[in-house]
């Protein structure tokens, strides 16, 4: 009897040659590092060197997060991934009324260049690759990073890393938006133009399906909605006068890795193939790197359980293996205790060690795309591609990603998928070990990491000191220039950088843009 995948596609008990009847290996596969990139974006993949091992970290104050980063680098992490607290993500200072109770809770609090300087104290920004999970205020955090690098003597042209900068998925699944979609897309295009001129090695966006998956999207929905958002960003940049090959090589993506290894491998392979085709056929991209779907992967936080949390070590290892077999460029493995609280030092270290075991103790780095030619995986890859194309076609019929968002299409589809998963779990049809099967009568006690509530008061004090010490006239003049640029057509990142250098705060800069662009209020259809 056939089973269904997470996307509702059939999985046959046995696959044979008939699964690939009429199948053209040259057209569907190609060679690794060549169009259509089904087998991976680089010819040698991990046979030359393993993926970048990132650990997503940030909590409390900049000083506390800096200590964690130093530990991760000393432990062998080859890239940093910064988590920001909710006020920072929403463009509010730590002393804002809306920030009360949330300062430093789910990430690090960054209010100004002073905080960013502390965050990266002693970390050579010319040598480390940094990913920043920030969206609506992405431009601000990118510029703060550049300012601190310049203080270290590192030029903007030397900096490598990624800023998430994917605001469209915030309207779909996450909710940390600030401005309406159109000015948000204008800000995204300004970042593309700025980095093309000033920071050529920086990945200007990480178009994210991860958060949609965490909200309940199926693998097919995750890929379809993410690639549709990517198409919208490309169209926006081209409409702003940019040549596709000037910015497309710096686009990157961010996906989840679930425990369903075969479907996840098929998902990643299908995504590369679809993106290559869209970039070549719709946008006429000529540079080979413009056709490459390069992506970061994080293991599935939504699949972690607070019950028997040590089981999450197994889940994360399986998920990480799926990401590697699918050809990810970088990977973050979740800590086993994240369903309970922020990770402890030991849990974060174990998560990194999981990747190191995969890279150095298994043979998955010995050959490129080991599933190539598999009856099962190639059939599942084709089925996934067909399902994704069908969903992307529906978005195009609605007028593209933004119009579909405004009509609630993606959000509604994800909610239906999430409801189906919840029903299956509650009914016991979907087994979650330790939750609805193989439970313990009594859970073992576990002491989680807790954020000191005094952090908020410390940040408020730092802000008061900053405002007393800075040249307020220079701040006011810089913010006025920013408002003028926002009201016109000039690139806002240049006056924004001047304001941040003058020690304007994240909240003050975002407030200046709010005055001109307004804020986004979801429609009643959501």
Question: What Å distances lie between residue 350 and 76, 248, 260, 456, 468, CA to CA?
Answer: 12, 35, 22, 30, 44
- pLDDT > 70: what percent of the chain? 99
Q: Is residue 402 part of a domain?
A: yes
Under 8 Å between Cβ of 140 and 506: yes
HEC per residue, 147-163:
HHHHHCCCCHHHCCEEE
CA distance 43 to 409: 38
Q: Are residues 501 and 355 in the same domain?
A: no
C-alpha gyration radius of the chain: 23
For the ranges 54-68, 206-220, 385-399, 464-478, the lowest mean pLDDT is seen at 54-68
- Quickly list DSSP for 142-200: HHHHHHHHHHTT--GGG--EEE----HHIIIII----S-HHHHHHHHHHHHHHHHHH-T
CA distance 224 to 387: 8
pLDDT for 526 = 37
Structure tokens at 465: 């000191």
Q: Is residue 445 part of a domain?
A: no
Say if residue 146 is exposed, middle or buried (CB neighbours under 10 Å; 0-12, 13-18, 19+).
buried
For the ranges 114-123, 150-159, 240-249, 451-460, the lowest mean pLDDT is seen at 451-460
pLDDT in tens, 446-487: 777 677 888 999 999 999 999 999 999 999 999 999 999 999
Q: Are residues 461 and 364 in the same domain?
A: no
Is the pLDDT confidence value at 523 over 90?
A: no
Is the pLDDT confidence value at 1 over 60?
A: no
Question: What residues contact residue 261 under an 8 Å CB cut-off, 6+ apart?
Answer: 318, 321, 322, 325
Question: What residues contact residue 444 under an 8 Å CB cut-off, 6+ apart?
Answer: none
First-to-last C-alpha distance (Å) of the chain: 38
Q: Are residues 87 and 201 in the same domain?
A: yes
Q: Which of 426, 443, 474 marks a domain boundary? A: 426
Question: What residues contact residue 16 under an 8 Å CB cut-off, 6+ apart?
Answer: 375
Is the pLDDT confidence value at 79 over 90?
A: no
If one counts every other C-beta atom within 10 angstroms of the C-beta of residue 474, the result is 15
Q: Are residues 386 and 492 in the same domain?
A: no
Q: Are residues 254 and 178 in the same domain?
A: yes
Q: Sorting pLDDT into bands at 50, 70 and 90, what band is 2?
A: low
Q: Is residue 61 part of a domain?
A: yes
Is the pLDDT confidence value at 34 over 60?
A: yes
Q: Which of 407, 426, 445 marks a domain boundary? A: 426
Instruction: Classify the C-alpha dihedral 496-497-502-503 as positive or negative.
Output: positive
Mean of per-residue pLDDT scores for the chain: 94
- Quickly list DSSP for 12-58: -S---GGGGTT--HHHHT--TTSTT-TT-SSSSGGGTSPPEEEEEE-
Q: Is residue 523 part of a domain?
A: no
Tell me 444's DSSP state. P
pLDDT in tens, 344-375: 889 989 999 999 999 999 999 999 999 999 99
Q: Is residue 21 part of a domain?
A: no
**Residue span of the structural domain in which 275 resides:** 3-12+41-426
Q: Is residue 31 part of a domain?
A: no
For the ranges 68-77, 297-306, 485-494, the lowest mean pLDDT is seen at 68-77
Q: Are residues 135 and 232 in the same domain?
A: yes
* Secondary structure element (H or E) that encloses residue 256, with its range: strand 251-257
* Secondary structure element (H or E) that encloses residue 81, with its range: strand 79-83
For the ranges 62-66, 228-232, 519-523, the lowest mean pLDDT is seen at 519-523
The owner of tokens 């195009």 is 396
pLDDT in tens, 390-406: 999 999 999 999 999 99
The owner of tokens 């997060």 is 65
> Half-sphere exposure of 444 toward its Cβ, with a 13 Å CA cutoff?
7
Q: Which of 410, 426, 442 marks a domain boundary? A: 426
Q: Are residues 203 and 248 in the same domain?
A: yes
Question: What residues contact residue 57 under an 8 Å CB cut-off, 6+ apart?
Answer: 65, 68, 69, 72, 80, 81, 82, 83, 343, 348
CA distance 395 to 224: 9
- Strand, coil or helix: what is 432? coil
For the ranges 18-27, 43-52, 185-194, 504-513, the lowest mean pLDDT is seen at 18-27
Phi and psi (nearest 5°) for 11?
-120, 115
CATH at 410: 3.20.20.240
- C-alpha 168 chain-centroid distance: 12
Q: Are residues 129 and 217 in the same domain?
A: yes
> Half-sphere exposure of 361 toward its Cβ, with a 13 Å CA cutoff?
8
The owner of tokens 């779990």 is 425
Under 8 Å between Cβ of 196 and 242: yes
Q: Are residues 400 and 300 in the same domain?
A: yes
Task: Read off the pTM.
Answer: 0.92
Listed residue (1, 4, 25, 110) closest to 382, CA to CA? 25
If one counts every other C-beta atom within 10 angstroms of the C-beta of residue 279, the result is 25
Under 8 Å between Cβ of 72 and 352: yes
The total of structural domains in the chain comes to 2
CA distance 519 to 526: 16
pLDDT for 246 = 94
Q: Is residue 118 part of a domain?
A: yes
The owner of tokens 């239906």 is 416
Structure tokens at 259: 């425990």
Q: Are residues 268 and 396 in the same domain?
A: yes
Is the pLDDT confidence value at 525 over 50?
A: no
Q: Are residues 461 and 422 in the same domain?
A: no
Q: Are residues 384 and 460 in the same domain?
A: no
Q: Is residue 376 part of a domain?
A: yes
Q: Sorting pLDDT into bands at 50, 70 and 90, what band is 71?
A: confident
Q: Sorting pLDDT into bands at 50, 70 and 90, what band is 201?
A: very high
Is the pLDDT confidence value at 506 over 80?
A: yes
């Amino acid at each position: 009897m056939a089973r269904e995948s997470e996307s509702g596609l059939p999985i046959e008990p046995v696959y044979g040659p008939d699964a690939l009847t009429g199948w053209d290996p040259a057209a569907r596969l190609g060679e690794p590092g060549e169009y259509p990139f089904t087998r991976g974006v680089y010819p040698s993949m991990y046979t030359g060197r393993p993926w970048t091992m990132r650990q997503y970290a940030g909590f409390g104050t900049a000083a506390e997060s800096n200590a964690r980063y130093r530990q991760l680098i000393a432990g062998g992490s080859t890239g940093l991934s910064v988590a920001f607290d909710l006020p920072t993500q929403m463009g509010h200072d730590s002393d804002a009324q809306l920030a009360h109770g949330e300062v430093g809770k789910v990430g690090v609090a960054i209010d100004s260049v002073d905080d960013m300087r502390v965050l990266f104290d002693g970390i050579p920004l010319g040598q480390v690759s940094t990913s920043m999970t920030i969206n609506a205020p992405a431009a601000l955090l990118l510029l703060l990073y550049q300012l601190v690098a310049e203080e270290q003597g590192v030029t903007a042209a030397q900096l490598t890393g990624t800023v998430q900068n994917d605001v469209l998925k915030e309207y779909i699944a996450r909710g940390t938006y600030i401005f309406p979609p159109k000015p948000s897309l204008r800000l995204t295009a300004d970042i593309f133009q700025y980095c093309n001129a000033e920071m050529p090695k920086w990945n200007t966006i990480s178009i994210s399906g991860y958060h949609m998956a965490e909200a309940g999207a199926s693998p097919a929905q995750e890929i379809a909605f993410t690639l549709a958002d990517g198409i919208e960003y490309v169209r926006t940049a081209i409409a702003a006068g940019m040549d596709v090959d000037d910015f497309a090589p710096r686009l990157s993506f961010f996906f989840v890795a679930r425990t369903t290894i075969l479907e996840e491998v098929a998902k990643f392979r299908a995504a590369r193939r679809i993106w290559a085709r869209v970039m070549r056929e719709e946008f006429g991209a000529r540079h080979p790197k413009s056709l490459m779907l390069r992506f970061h992967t994080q293991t599935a936080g939504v699949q972690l359980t607070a019950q028997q949390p040590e089981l999450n070590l197994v889940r994360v290892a399986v998920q990480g293996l799926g990401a590697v077999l699918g050809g990810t460029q970088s990977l973050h493995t979740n800590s086993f205790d994240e369903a309970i609280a922020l990770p402890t030092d030991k849990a974060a270290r174990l998560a990194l060690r999981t990747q190191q075991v995969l890279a150095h103790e298994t043979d998955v780095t010995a050959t490129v795309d080991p599933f190539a030619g598999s009856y099962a995986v190639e059939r599942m890859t084709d089925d996934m591609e067909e399902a994704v194309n069908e969903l992307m076609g529906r978005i195009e019929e609605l007028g593209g990603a933004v119009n579909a968002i405004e009509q609630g299409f993606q959000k509604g589809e994800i909610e239906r998928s999430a409801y189906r998963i919840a029903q299956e779990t509650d009914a016991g049809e979907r087994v979650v070990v330790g939750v609805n099967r193989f439970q313990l009568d009594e859970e073992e006690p576990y002491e989680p990491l807790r954020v000191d509530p005094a952090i908020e008061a410390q940040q408020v004090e730092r802000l008061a000191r900053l405002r007393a010490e800075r040249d307020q006239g220079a701040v006011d003049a810089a913010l006025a220039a920013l408002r003028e640029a926002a009201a016109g057509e000039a690139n806002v990142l240049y006056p924004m950088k001047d304001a941040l250098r003058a020690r304007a705060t994240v909240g003050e800069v975002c407030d200046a843009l709010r005055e001109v662009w307004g804020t986004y209020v979801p429609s009643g259809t959501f």
